Amino acid sequence: MGEVDTAFIQDPLHRPKLCVIEAEEIPVIDLSPITNQAVSDSSSIEGLVKEIGIACKEWGFFQVINHGVSLTLRQNIEKASRMFFAQSLEEKRKVSRNERNAMGYYDTEHTKNVRDWKEVFDSVAKHPTLVPLTTDENDDQLSLSGLIHLLSTLHTSGNSSSL
């Protein structure tokens, strides 16, 4: 194994302090109060907000159930994501974020002046009846990956089983 590029090495001052948190399980948040009209009322929504707040404060993350996104759509998004990220760097960079377009591929993010060990594909929810999709020159290249279509479907319907 070779040496790690120093661009990826975090200063010891900024490294996380390791500790063991004893807990029974990761918080599970049921979104049915906002996805199911039959069980939606102000007190259940208030309870949901409180649960999310506690999970964020105590854990920093949580698992979501009853979110309304079909299994087929989730599987297709995962498949398209894997296919996109398996492409060559040259291909992925054809849809890179830039000064004019904040959405797309990016692989040189930094946290506290240290390069992150990740690559991302950023997208944004655009409700088709409120905000029309852009005609940005990058859109054609983004659609070639197939990922943008699936993400748009997720953002607009969340329930598509036709994908």
pLDDT in tens, 111-155: 888 888 899 998 887 665 444 455 555 555 555 456 666 666 665
- The residue among 154 and 5 whose pLDDT is bigger is 5
What is the arithmetic mean of pLDDT over 8-33? 81
What is the arithmetic mean of pLDDT over 84-112? 91
Please give the share of the chain, as a percent, with pLDDT higher than 70: 74
* Closest by CA position to 59, among listed 48, 67, 51, 69: 51
pLDDT confidence of residue 139: 55
The 10s digit of each residue's pLDDT in 39-66 is 778 888 899 999 999 999 999 999 999 9
* Closest by CA position to 84, among listed 95, 97, 75, 74: 95
pLDDT confidence of residue 119: 93
Judging by DSSP bridges, how do beta strands 120-122 and 104-106 pair with one another?
A: antiparallel
User: How far is residue 153 CA from its own chain's centroid?
Assistant: 14
pLDDT of residue 1 exceeding 80:
no
